[in-house]
Each structure stands twice: as C-alpha cells, then as structure tokens.
Amino acid sequence: MGAALMQQCIRCYVSRRVQGVFFRAATREKALELHLSGWARNLPDGRVEVLACGEAEAVGSMQEWLQVGPPHAQVAAVDCAEMTIQAPAGFTTG
C-alpha cells in the first residue's frame, strides 16, 4: 500500500469562544508539529473551520487537540467528518 492510501483528511467545525483567542494560529502551529496540511479559517457565525490532512494517527491527534484548543479558547463542540479530497500543500490560516 502506498503512502497516499494512508493519508486522511477531516473537516471540523469548532464552536463557542474560538475567535479572537489565537485559535487559528495555534491550530496552524499544532498542524505543523504533526506534519499536517490544510487550513483554519473563521466563519461568519463565530465558528472556526479546520481542514487537516495527513497520516491517520496525526489527524486523530489534531481532532483530539481541537476539543480543547489553545489556553484562552472555550470549546463547546467539535463536529468532524472525513473528506475525500486532494490534500492541500502546507497549512494556512485565512
């Protein structure tokens, strides 16, 4: 089995106090630490949307981290779903 088959992508929606607390920047730092690609962006409704692609174990670690987030975040819910997409290069915030 090739490395591409071991790649996984998830899209997560994180809600409660997750904007204005460096959530996207902290998510990018965690993603780079885990060697993930994707992005984190604020949504107009106050949630943060995260796409994380990489090794399944690392994606799972990111999903666990999103449950808590950075120190000043107050996460109420994280809703994730697997995605079948071409993984983007790098990890951006927007």
Q: Say if residues 61 and 15 touch (Cβ distance below 8 Å).
A: no
- Catalytic, out of 17, 24, 41, 47: 24
Distance CA 9, CA 81 (A): 9
The residue from 11, 16, 17, 42 that is catalytic is 42
Is residue 42 annotated as part of the catalytic site, yes or no? yes
Q: Is 84 exposed, middle or buried (0-12, 13-18, 19+ CB in 10 A)?
A: exposed
Just list the catalytic residues.
24, 42
